[in-house]
């Protein structure tokens, strides 16, 4: 039996930061207390942050079908270097994750190549087309499936979404929704329908394209009583609708991404396509509402929507380039540097929204607690670094945060008791 002791940590335990030691025995947490001593190996953290590993419930790993953008190996390694111990891949692969055979194949790939615990969503509809429901009963029985999502496409039909919610409820599963009303979209729409779009003669994406479906779905979820989660919230109206819904329905939840919490469309530079994602960077008012939503508990999860693209794909005019940016390697450092250090969101809130809350949303057991698997991350909050192309672990480099200075360097990653020194 191997005992590893992390001493003198600033430990995020029971929702607050405490000066504690953490003992790992084999793959589990054996003790959390002050002045622990009995161990085979002692690692002095010297006051560094020790937290439950992060859980990203919104990641595009691109495999199978788009391995030139990312693979399970590279995408999960990127997550590992961001302090993540669990993630959930989206279903928009080729073939689509819409049947048992494809899901089983993905599980085999994960067992071979994944660097962190990796799950997937089944699609809601066949090939994400919104026309035919997948076999919820069969797909939900696969252990690697933790929910259902057509992310990349909104489910346009209210009747189809209602049927999907009922099927998810029957299987004690969750609908994870990309809210996008295609009736509100104009051809060529590429960034927020704001000043930057008007000044540069670009077609804008309005707020209603998101909140129309969010409002519709929250009403349906309340009537049906199923678990329901909103992906990548970007508008003040969606925040308001979700916050109101959660007053009476604890089964609904939603996530914000670091880029929507840090940047607005005013930050777009030189029509750089690395500032293009879906939903787009919104207004200052929308950003402020997202921060308020995190702080008041209306928005409970921070996910990345890690969406890699090859250089030649992304290096096109902003109206022609694909939507999406990478995000899981630097999410915590960006949140800490540009929100926590500025006093906009507390460190405890960020850690909760990146670890404990997303685990609860998808129904996995994960926390810093005696007896549970040791899935942890250690950060030096005083160490500053720069995000460079050379340091990126993803196969792709499409991010607006290149050359950005951050505080909060990962020092140790712990996966089921296996300690990696970074």
> Which residues carry out catalysis?
305
CA distances from 215 to 50, 69, 122, 219, 286 (A): 38, 34, 23, 6, 16
Q: How far apart are CA 95 and CA 78, in angstroms?
A: 23
Neighbours of 353 (CB within 10 A): 23
Neighbours of 342 (CB within 10 A): 9
**Contact call for residues 256 and 294 (beta carbons, < 8 A):** yes
Residue among 363, 221, 365, 245 nearest 299 (CA): 245
């Amino acid at each position: 039996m191997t005992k590893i002791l992390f001493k003198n940590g600033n430990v995020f335990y029971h929702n607050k930061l405490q000066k504690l030691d953490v003992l790992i025995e084999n793959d589990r947490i054996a003790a959390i207390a002050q002045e622990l001593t009995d161990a085979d190996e002692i690692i002095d953290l010297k006051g560094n942050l020790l937290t439950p590993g992060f859980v990203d419930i919104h990641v595009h790993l691109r495999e199978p079908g788009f391995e030139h953008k990312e693979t399970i190996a590279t995408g999960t390694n990127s997550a590992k270097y961001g302090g993540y111990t669990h993630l959930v891949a989206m279903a928009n692969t080729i073939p689509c994750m819409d049947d048992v055979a494809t899901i089983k194949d993905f599980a085999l790939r994960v067992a071979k190549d994944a660097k962190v615990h990796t799950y997937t969503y089944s699609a809601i509809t066949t090939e994400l087309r919104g026309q035919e429901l997948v076999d919820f009963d069969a797909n939900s029985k696969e252990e690697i499936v933790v929910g259902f999502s057509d992310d990349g496409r909104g489910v346009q039909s209210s009747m189809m979404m209602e049927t999907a919610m009922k099927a998810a409820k029957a299987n004690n599963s969750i609908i994870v929704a990309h809210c996008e009303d295609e009736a509100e979209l104009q051809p060529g729409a590429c960034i927020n329908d704001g000043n930057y779009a008007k000044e540069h003669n670009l077609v804008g994406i309005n707020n209603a394209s998101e909140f129309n479906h969010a409002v519709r779905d929250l009403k349906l979820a309340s009537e049906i009583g199923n678990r329901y989660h909103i992906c990548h919230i970007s508008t003040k109206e969606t925040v308001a609708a979700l916050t109101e819904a959660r007053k009476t329905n604890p089964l609904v939840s939603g996530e914000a991404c670091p880029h929507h919490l840090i940047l607005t469309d005013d930050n777009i530079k030189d029509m750089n396509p690395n500032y293009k994602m879906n939903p787009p960077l919104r207004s200052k008012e929308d950003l402020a509402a997202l921060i308020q939503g995190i702080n008041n508990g209306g928005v409970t999860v921070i996910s990345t929507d890690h969406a890699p693209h090859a250089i030649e794909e992304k290096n096109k005019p902003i109206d022609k380039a694909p939507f999406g940016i990478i995000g899981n390697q630097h999410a915590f450092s960006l949140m800490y540097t540009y929100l926590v250090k500025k006093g906009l969101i507390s460190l405890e809130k960020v850690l909760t929204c990146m670890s404990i809350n997303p685990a609860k949303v998808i129904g996995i057991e994960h926390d810093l607690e005696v007896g549970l698997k040791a899935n942890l991350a250690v950060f030096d909050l005083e160490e500053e670094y720069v995000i460079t192309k050379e340091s990126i672990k993803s196969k792709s480099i499409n991010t607006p945060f290149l050359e950005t200075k951050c505080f909060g360097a990962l020092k140790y990653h712990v996966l089921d008791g296996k300690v990696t020194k970074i």
